[in-house]
Structures are given as C-alpha cells and as structure tokens.
Structure 1
C-alpha cells in the first residue's frame, strides 16, 4: 500500500510510578493532584508507527496521527506523541477533569469515537496499546475492529508491512503466533514490540507548533453515556503476616485447620 495513513491511540493515565489510592467517596481512584502520563502501551504504539515510517519511507507512510479522548489536560499526552515525531494530533474532549472522564468514558464509547475519527480521516492502519494501565480493560482495540469490520492483530510483539499485507507476531499463552491479513487493520501493541525513543527538548519545542484539532462527542454524533455503573471501589485486603513452622507435619496441620487441604 503506497498511501498509508496511521492513527495511534494516546490515553492519559495515572503515571505507572504513582501509588494509586482510592478516593474518600469509594467511587474511583484518586486523580486530583496526581501525576499523569502517556499510557506505556500507547507509547509503544506511537514508536512502532514512527519505525514503520522510517523503514518504509515517507512515500508509503503519508501521515501519522495521534488521537486521544479525555479532559483538556489530555493535550499534554498528545504533545508527547508529537514530540516523538507524530505529524498532527486530534483531541476528542470528554469531561472537564480526569475524574469526570474516568466516570464517563468506557471502552465501547472510546471505540465509537475512534471509529468516527477513522472514517473522517480515512486512516487505514490503527495501532493501539493492548490495554491501558488504569482500567486494564483490554477491550477498545477489539471493539473497534468489530465496529469497523476490520481484521485485528492483538498483543503484537512484531509487525511488518509488505504492500497491502500485514504480518504480525503475537504473544499467546502457548508461545508465539504469526498471522497475516490485508490492510486496513487494527493492531494492539504488547510490551515487547519495541522500546520507545527518548524525547529531546528541541522536539518538545517543535511539538508546540504542530497542529492539534479538537472535537466533542456531540460533533462526532457519538453517545458516550456509560453503559456500566461502578458500585464501589475498595483497596485490596491487607496481606496477613506469615508464620514459621518447625516441621512438615506442622505445616500440613496448619493447612488442614485453614481448610486449604479439604
């Protein structure tokens, strides 16, 4: 395919190094005054799009677009993608802050928003992170493929493009599986697909001048009303301390008394 337009997803999530806390209302995790960053799997997706262009050339990969759905601050993550080398960005604004977005946006709504933008932009290769590290849903890529009726290759650890043929090596429980399909297609990136590049200060400055377009769900005619309701969010139970035993017989006795060997 000589006219490849790649769209990559860029979700704003709580930074992986932050210790997550449940809010006082027990309705969600605390997002106020918490460091956020680009979802690591999405960062891998951005890197893979850039590597495809470097390998195939500008004559094949015409454009790389970063897309996010979220509050106004999500533009920070789009600027990160732009600084890495993405050509332009699109922001679908949902919610006024991180908490509001978390309570509103669910995978199906995100997939519908992506579908609307893909059809508008006529993108023919979509690369998403296999999951976001905040909800670990691992649903958006698969739902998007279903809505578009496109082939999908999930958990990609290697991908190649030859003409209009896409070949992906994906990680499965039993090892590795290699599949191929024709473009257009949806790919979700796994951890071992690549290692994202370091963003330099000059590129961060250049990213500020790159185009960033904004939409709302209403403009895209997409209903983002939540289909599911969170009843409550609680911390996992505190792990109880272990005890030492003097013999195997004592261990078996304790396991029996705890009901572990029934």
Structure 2
C-alpha cells in the first residue's frame, strides 16, 4: 500500500499571531514556522503503518514557498520515504490544493491518503472532503483511531452520541484528529539521513490546475482583549450580575 501524506507549513502554534498594520493578513515576517500539528499526526500514522508492514511506501507532499522544503525534511526525518514539493508563493485555497493533490495521487498511484483535518492558520477544514469528492474515494474524517481490516480501513471518530466506527474500502482518505497518536521527535541521525532523501520539485503549472482565488479577504483583525474578571460574594450576587449586568440570563 502506498500512502500519501500532504503537509502544510504554518505559523508555529507556540507563536502569538500578529496582524499586519494594514489588516491584510497575519504578519509572518521573521517568525517561527513549523509543520501543521494535525499533519504531524498524519505523518506519524503513516510511519507507524510502514513499521507495521501495512504501508510499502510513504510519500510526503507539501504545497508552498521554497522554505516548505524544511517541512518536508522534518517529515522525512520522522520516517517518511521521499517527498514532493509543489512550489508556489501563492496562498492557495482548499479547492486548488485539492485539485493539485488529486493529480499527485493519480500520478503516484496512491492507495491511501492521510492528512490533517484542518490547518491551524486558516481553519478551513475542507481540503480532505474536497479531495475525496474529486477522487470519488470514501473518507473518514477527524479520526482518533485507525485499524487495518483486510482490504479495508476501520476509522473511529467522536460524534455527539459517543464514538462512531466507519469501514472504508480502499483506496480511501482519512483526516486526522489530535487523539489519533503522539508524533515522535526526529532524532539527530534521522535528521542527517533526511538530508539525503529525495525531494521532487514541481509547480502548480505542471498539473494544469487553475489556482485563481475565489475568495477575497476584506480584513483581518485581532480578537478583542479579554476584560478582567470580578469576584462575587455568593451565588445570588453571581445570578444578579449575569442577569442585570451581563444580560446573559
């Protein structure tokens, strides 16, 4: 089974996001970037599948600027076999990303695609579903457990009533949730080995995909600052303030 894992380079989750003075977007100048946390989980799952003998080859793909190669190298250091870098300086929308990934999946003859359920920079959370629709493959979304079942994959996800298990016939797509696994740290020897692993370079034009934006960002603003809390003497005073001052009850 060949496993394809798309990853995205995003603002590191430990860094406080700051808005540009003109409110055109988030300021990414001179800040730490890293792999999207949900994608780290996808990479870990693919490596575990390879270690278990389920996956015969694991391929990581990233769409982004030249520095996205660093993200690919991180995945290779975690254990992925090889990488594909589709270089573009545009911030592509989910549909364009899904169309490119469809072409990559077809050219690679992938059997299984696993990707994060969302990216923490824009929180669209739609790429996996769009890709499944374009490929006409079944999808298990927000998986917190994946188990091989012969020629199928059992995916467990959280729903309002508890847990839901779906059985996907291969080829299939799974999007990962935070509870699926705990990504490993890349060891120094593996980081050195990753520098020698191949990364294939391409551009969106190689796939003939229309990447023109369909959405327009009007402005980006920071959330309002949180107001200081107050202490109350008893429950009756709390109810009074919630009713008469906050107006929430």
Normalised TM-score (structure 2): 0.95
3-state DSSP class of the match of 1:156? strand
Distance 1:254 1:222, change over 3 A: same
Hey, what does 2:34 align to over in structure 1?
37
Query: 1:111-156, CA deviations, whole angstroms, 9 ceiling, x for partnerless residues?
Result: 1110111111110100001111111111110110011110000111
Query: 1:153-191, CA deviations, whole angstroms, 9 ceiling, x for partnerless residues?
Result: 011111112332111111223221111021000001111
Hey, what does 1:46 align to over in structure 2?
43
- Number of equivalences: 249
Confirm whether residue 69 of structure 1 aligns to residue 69 of structure 2: no
Q: Which runs of 5 or more residues in structure 2 are unaligned?
A: none
Hey, what does 2:220 align to over in structure 1?
233
Confirm whether residue 90 of structure 1 aligns to residue 84 of structure 2: yes
Superposed counterparts of 1:76-225, under 5 Å = 76-95=70-89, 101=90, 104-225=91-212
Distance across 1 between alignment mates of 2:245 and 2:22: 34
Distance across 1 between alignment mates of 2:70 and 2:22: 28
Post-superposition offset of 1:259: 5.9
Moved more, 168-177 or 137-146: 168-177
Q: Which runs of 5 or more residues in structure 1 are unaligned?
A: 96-100
3-state DSSP class of the match of 1:116? helix
Distance across 2 between alignment mates of 1:180 and 1:128: 18
Normalised TM-score (structure 1): 0.90
Post-superposition offset of 1:249: 5.2
Query: 1:179-231, CA deviations, whole angstroms, 9 ceiling, x for partnerless residues?
Result: 10210000011111111112011111111111101111111101111110110
3-state DSSP class of the match of 2:204? coil
Distance 1:208 1:259, change over 3 A: closer
Distance across 1 between alignment mates of 2:191 and 2:235: 61
Moved more, 158-167 or 27-36: 158-167
Superposed counterparts of 1:238-249, under 5 Å = 238-246=225-233
Confirm whether residue 24 of structure 1 aligns to residue 11 of structure 2: no
Distance across 2 between alignment mates of 1:171 and 1:249: 37
Post-superposition offset of 1:244: 3.5
Distance across 2 between alignment mates of 1:6 and 1:253: 58
